[in-house]
Structure 1
Amino acid sequence: MHVTGTHFTRFADRTEAGRRLAARLGRLAGPDTVVVALPRGGVPVAAEVASALGAPLDICVIRKLGVPYQPELGMGAIGEDGVRVLNEQVIRFSAVTDEQLAEVERQERAELARRARRYRGDRPPADLRGRTVVVVDDGIATGSTARAACRIVRERGAARVVLAVPVAPADWTERLDEVADELVCVGTPSPFFAIGEFYTDFSQTQDEEVLRLLAKAREGGGGGIGSGPSTGPAAVDRELLLPVAGVRLAGRLTVPAGARGVVVFAHGSGSGRLSPRNRHVAEYLNHTGLATLLFDLLTEDEEADRRNVFDVALLGSRLSAVARRLGAAEHTPDDPDDPDRPNHPDRPDDPVPETQGLPLGLFGASTGAAAALHTAADLGPAVRAVVSRGGRPDLATPDVLTRVRAPTLLLVGSLDPTVLDLNRQARSRLRCASELMVVPRASHLFEEPGTLDRVAELASGWFLRHLPLPVNPGSA
């Protein structure tokens, strides 16, 4: 059965394309349906389809084999499970040698393996046996990747395969008729030269966006990759009090279902857990599957004394104490009256059960960046990654900087030259893996349109790259 739209207008972006495609697939809603996306561009489209159908969202990693001197022209595709599809006509026409084909395939196999690990982690593929599988991409060009994807899901036991795309050439059904039981397309405009010409926004989908959408699908109850129960802590969003060295610090803990790590925010001078900028970044991290804790390093009375704001040793020691409560490091003082001692009656939130077993990252802003580095040096391997936004890492002592082992990302706005220079100086003292990235057209507070979104995207990518998979997440 073929369902192809006769009236076609350009898509604004992949999200709109997914919604228009979902409108043609409503009859497939049901417990036996699974939506499988082709990363990366197919994931935003498939996310809308899966949401509309109430179905789990999985991925099928495919890599196009591009002609060496014209990589946008596909001469075949490879996929998971060793699937390999070649377009002999394109290979002959392009005069591609066996050696050239082998080299392209070698490179794409490496990238395929990397993406599969990045997107799926340790989660198994969805169980497709006996189910209706809707394979979704952002469009069809030569059809090689779609053909490979349909073969993979069929070999994984799909009872019925539906290939669904927003846009395709007029002859796409003739090319792909034998690989799917049903072909669905919003429109087949003519002439057809490239998929991107039918989107107003066809910018490249980033890994972080793929991870965010997959995490969101899991949170939504569709099951996400693996379609099994979440192995992480239950979704949590609550205020809590953190007793530290005789004071109580207020915090906001957010733990998405299936969280793969926790990031603690260390705020800078004149800021706190209610900072709209850090809350914006935290929400982005939550969507990519990371738990966050935003808390105040100082009490209101302490903030009145500006000396406390720049007391990195004080801020860092409090951040370290809070990190220990999250289960990132063991800490057992000898003094039974020490409020930092586990199970002390003044520590109702120790341990924080929702974060036990989750790898730890630190996000510091302004003076909070120096505190984050202090904690990274103090806790050693318990801290897996650090990100600084417009930070003052120079306020950490040289001894602290040389003891940091966690990979550290320094983000500074291009319109913040003084802080940029201070970050360069501090980075020269670091002995860990580090990067300094300048966000274009951004000032110190990243108030310019789009700059804070770029910070969130870069921070998410850094944490997801460096935080290992959690061990026994959610166990108290």
Structure 2
Amino acid sequence: MFRDRPDAAAQLLRRLDHLRGEDAVVLGLPRGGVPVAAVVAEGLGVPLDVIVVRKLGLPFQPEVAMGAIGEGGVRLVNSELVGRAGVSIAELSEVERHERATLDRRVAMLRRGAAPRSLEGRTAIVVDDGLATGSTAEVACRVARSLGAHRVVLAIPIGPEDAASRVPSANEVVCVESPHWFHAVGQGYEDFSPTSDEEVMLLLDAAERRLAGEPWRPARSIETAQVEVPHGGLRLAADLSVPEAPTGFVVFAHGSGSSRHSPRNRLVADALQRAGLGTLLPDLLLPHEEADRANVFDIPLLADRLVSAVAWLRAHPGATGLPIGYFGASTGGGAALWAASEPGAHIAAIVSRGGRPDLAGERLGSVRAPTLLIVGGADHQVIELNRWAQARIAAPCELEIVPGATHLFEEAGTLAEVAILARDWFLRHFAPSAPAAGSARSAASAPSAASAASAASESSARSGPGGPA
């Protein structure tokens, strides 16, 4: 039994050593197959991509496949089943039109608009986290062949004993475990947790950076511990994660209604950790303090506790002498900027996600750390508040707008964009050659005086956006 997908991938990689040195591309089947494929691609030193297929379900019974489609116009139809079911040409065309649109959107999101890897004349290694019926894998192998692959290898950690016969389009099937009593892929895993689109996007992005020769490498080990940060007579609960040989640390400032357990902030923190950055996620409010909504908007209080968190972190053996940054969400964005404006703060970089930097008010002019403001394209009011703040931040400041995202970045793929932007910002400004904070300023177009006055008003601060981060 495999502990999880990385463990399964490591065992599968050993079975694929004979492919080392080939001109190959590893193709992961989203979602669960991509974490396995990422390990295989890195181990073999070849590119990673996805291969997306969509089932064509019967109009009156969608779970029954009458065919499938793939990229590049690939189309497979079970004509015998279509005939027996009495599906008309118009009905088949309508199902295909709907699934083709869904496939195109999904491919564009997962690849972030990049073109697919060429398979012409290459070996395509199709990877999934397991094989059940074999129908999806068979379609994927046919798609790979139709896109020019001269050889197709299906690689899976677990499948039935007759796995090879279920995927005739594969030249070779490599399977680590084939239980005699096989009934489901999940039976081979202790941890078979779902994989999100965000994780798929981050893995694909990391693979691209590897091929591009980026200076950072994914962390091999990450130690995480629950700690307590002292602040006056209080003890603030926090989660500290330290990757091997960290290049810097990021302290998180959660927004209103949120905590160190926020799944959104944890996804970002995980992306930072994989890039070799340590993270500290503290609860800035005690449980009884969270009940008072006024505390959520008490920026000086939150900022004061962030300063204590940084002081504690600087004294930690694993962080000594390393650059430290802030990642703020919602009202935490304002708190991070306020804390960074304190004399002697020495903060290397700041990232705000869907933040309220306007809540830092006059303190913005004292911020010397390079700042990245990330806002959802559909979060119109917060975009204006961030533009107002950008015009007043003394340090280099950039505004990134993620298309289609709302305040919480709940739309598929948008949070992965945040994680990638944040990771790259911290890596750039934590590097030894990064320009000193406050040495330059990015261009910013200030909104009208009326918009600025409205953004800075106390009424906006109290009644404006400030929901869970």
Give the structure-1-normalised TM-score.
0.52
**1:151-198, Cα deviation, whole Å (9 max, x unpaired):** 332233323221112233333322323x12211112333454443444
Q: Is the 8 A contact 2:217 2:276 kept in 1?
A: no
The equivalences for 1:38-437 within 5 A come to 38-67=29-58, 71-88=62-79, 101-177=92-168, 179-219=169-209, 221=210, 223=211, 229=212, 235=216, 267=253, 282-286=268-272, 294-295=325-326, 297-300=340-343, 312-318=360-366, 361=374, 374-379=385-390, 383-385=399-401, 408-410=406-408
Asked if structure 2 preserves the Cα contact closer than 8 Å seen for 1:47 and 1:213, the reply is: yes
Structure-2 separation of matches of 1:288 and 1:114: 27
For residue 136 of structure 1, report the CA deviation from its aligned partner. 0.9
Task: Tell me which residue corresponds to 1:460.
Answer: 415
Instruction: List gaps (5 residues or longer) in structure 2.
Output: 219-249, 280-323, 327-338, 347-356, 392-396, 430-434, 436-469
Please state if 1:21 is matched with 2:32.
no
1:382/1:195 CA distance change after superposition, 3 Å: same
Distance 2:35 2:345 in 1: 46
Report the number of matched residues: 316
What is residue 442 of structure 1 aligned with on the other side? none
Seen in structure 2, the aligned counterparts of structure 1 residues 311 and 159 have a Cα distance that, compared at 3 Å, is: closer
1:284 alignment partner AA: D
Corresponding residue number in structure 2 for 1:349 = none
What letter corresponds to residue 24 of structure 1 in structure 2?
R
1:16-44: CA deviations, max 9, x gaps? Answer: 32222222111111152321111112101
The farther-off stretch of 111-120 and 166-175 is 166-175
2:11 and 2:176 in contact (8 A); partners too: yes
The 1:101/1:171 distance shift into structure 2, 3 A limit, reads farther
Q: Deviation at 1:121?
A: 2.4
Per-residue CA shift, 1:31-68, capped at 9, x if unaligned? 52321111112101111211222222111121233455
Residue segments in structure 1 that go unaligned for 5+ positions in a row: 1-8, 224-228, 238-263, 270-274, 304-308, 329-359, 364-369, 387-404, 411-433, 438-456
Return the alpha-carbon distance in structure 1 between the equivalents of residues 84 and 160 of structure 2.
Answer: 20
Residues 94 and 195 (structure 1), Cα distance of their counterparts in 2 relative to 1, 3 Å cut? farther
CA distance in 1, matches of 2:344, 2:60: 66
Provide the secondary structure at the position in 2 that maps to 1:106: helix
Aligned residue for 1:184, secondary structure, equals strand
Q: Equivalent residue of 2:165, what SS?
A: helix
Contact 1:215 1:289 in 2 (8 A): no
Give per-residue Cα distances to partners, 1:55-95, cap 9 Å, x unaligned: 22111121233455665544332110011123456656777
Whichever residue aligns with residue 206 of structure 1, its letter is S
By relative contact order (CA 8 Å, sep 6+), the higher-ranking structure is: 1
- Give the counterpart letter for 2:156 in structure 1: V
SS at match of 1:40: coil
- Identify which range, 25-34 or 65-74, moves more after superposition: 65-74
| 1:266-305 deviation digits (Å, cap 9, x = unpaired) | 8589xxxxx99999665434479999992552235689xx
Flag the 1:290–1:302 CA change in 2: closer, same or farther, 3 A: closer
Identity %: 38
Closer, same or farther in 2 for the Cα pair 1:212/1:75, shift >3 Å? same
SS in 1 for 2:99: helix
For 1:108 and 1:283, locate their aligned partners in 2 and report how far apart those are by CA, in whole Å.
34
The answer to whether the 8 Å contact 1:65/1:105 transfers is yes
Distance 2:362 2:382 in 1: 8
What are the Cα deviations for residues 114-149 of structure 1, in whole angstroms up to 9, with x where unaligned?
A: 111112124322233332221112223333332232
Q: Work out the CA distance in 1 between the residues paired with 2:36 and 2:59.
A: 29
TM-score normalised over the length of structure 2: 0.53
Distance 1:120 1:131 in 2: 20
Assess if the C-alpha contact under 8 Å between 1:384 and 1:406 holds in 2: no
Whether the 8 Å contact between 1:85 and 1:144 is mirrored in structure 2 is no
Contact 1:65 1:76 in 2 (8 A): yes
**CA 1:163–1:314: 2 relative to 1, 3 Å:** same
1:372 & 1:236 partners in 2: Cα distance? 34
Give the letter aligned to residue 17 of structure 1: A
- Compared CA separation, residues 382 and 16, structure 1 to 2 (3 A): same
User: Which residue of the partner structure matches residue 357 of structure 1?
Assistant: none
Name the Cα RMSD after superposition.
5.0
For residue 361 of structure 2, what is the amino acid of its counterpart? A
> Contact (CA 8 Å) 1:361, 1:463: kept in 2 or not?
yes
Question: d(CA) in 2 for partners of 1:120 and 1:207?
Answer: 11
